[in-house]
Amino acid sequence: MKFELKQHFQIESARYLPHLPPEHPCSRMHGHSFKIVLTLVGPLDPVLGWVIDYNDIQSKMQPLLAQLDHRVLNEVPGLENPTSELLAKWLYDHGSQHLEGLIRVTVAETPLTECSYPA
């Protein structure tokens, strides 16, 4: 019996996308309030009746998010081209080392767009 959990986070970060032509607005330094959703899947703890304490997800993600929040993403190793796609992959690759059951990271750079990794 497996359950799926989601936990939402938000970070404020600056970025520019270095491979775009100069006339593209995203080639210039700008900021986003990135919404991040982690999806975890796991079995129920038979005694506690939950998959994982949301506080544990929070504390395990905190060091990673601290590397991104109120920073220039381009300066973070591995995020030299910080598209939402590559940010989702970076969060998944690093987050899955600490969070058992992490199956997906979704990044929304605006209220109208989002992308997930892995698909």
What single-letter amino acid sits at 50? W
Tell me, yes or no, if 100 is annotated catalytic.
no
- Closest by CA to 88, choosing from 111, 64, 54, is 64
Tell me which residues in 79-98 interact with Zn ion (CB under 5 A). Answer: none
Binding flags for Zn ion, 22-51, as an x/- string (CB under 5 A): ----x-------------------------
Q: Cβ of residue 112: shortest distance to Zn ion, in angstroms?
A: 13
Tell me, yes or no, if 115 is annotated catalytic.
no
Residue 103 binds Zn ion (CB under 5 A): no
- Closest by CA to 88, choosing from 108, 58, 73, is 108
Q: Cβ of residue 21: shortest distance to Zn ion, in angstroms?
A: 15
Q: How many CB atoms are located within 10 Å of the residue 62 CB? A: 11
Gap between the Cα atoms of 41 and 37, Å rounded: 13
Q: Cβ of residue 99: shortest distance to Zn ion, in angstroms?
A: 26
Gap between the Cα atoms of 9 and 62, Å rounded: 10
For 107, the 3-state DSSP assignment is strand
* Interface stretch with Zn ion, choices 6-14, 19-27, 58-66, 85-93 (CB under 5 A): 19-27
Tell me, yes or no, if 26 is annotated catalytic.
yes
**Total site size for Zn ion, rule CB under 5 A:** 1
Beta 2-15 vs 113-117: how paired, if at all?
unpaired
Binding site for Zn ion (CB under 5 A): 26
Q: Any idea which residues carry the catalytic annotation?
A: 26, 70, 109
